[in-house]
Amino acid sequence: MSFESDLQKVRKRAGAQGWRVEKRGEYWWFWPEDPSLPPCAIGGTGHSKGRALSNFLACLKRRGYRP
């Protein structure tokens, strides 16, 4: 799987779980349902996309995302 297709799946799942997802510039921002929690962001460029995706998923899970 590619970074873009994996990120697309995460966007769809997060949206179905009530997260607000927006693209601002080169970054995707994910806001959890609980407004007291800060958002998670991931950039669409860079060399370590695999590691960035795993760190991003960890951030989402800490805020209630269910894969």
Distance separating the N- and C-terminal Cα atoms of the chain: 16
CA separation for the pair 9, 29 (Å, rounded): 15
Spatial contact of 65 and 18, defined as CB atoms under 8 Å apart: no
**pTM of this prediction?**
0.88
Region class of 46: left (phi > 0), else alpha (psi between -120 and 50), else beta: left
The radius of gyration of the chain from alpha carbons, rounded to an integer in Å, stands at 11
CA separation for the pair 39, 8 (Å, rounded): 18
pLDDT along the chain (67 residues), means of 10: 88 97 94 95 78 93 95
**Structural domain spans, the chain:** 3-62
